[in-house]
Amino acid sequence: MLTASTIGIAAYGAYAAIAAFVDLVSQSRLEIWVDLLEIMFGALLVLAAAFVRVRIPGGLALAVGGMLGLQALALHDAAHLYGAVALAPQIARGIFAATLALLGWLGGRTAGP
Give the torsion sign (CA, 3, 9, 10, 11): positive
| End-to-end alpha carbon distance in the chain | 16
- pLDDT the model gives residue 112: 55
Where does the pLDDT of residue 81 fall: very low under 50, low under 70, confident under 90, or very high at 90 and above? Answer: confident
- pLDDT the model gives residue 80: 85
Q: What residue segments make up the domains of the chain, in order of their start?
A: 2-110
Q: Is-contact 13 44, C-beta < 8 A?
A: yes
pTM above 0.85, yes or no: yes
Q: Residue 93: pLDDT above 70? A: yes
pLDDT digits (tens, 9 = 90+) for 11-67: 999 999 999 999 999 977 788 999 999 999 999 999 999 999 999 999 999 999 999
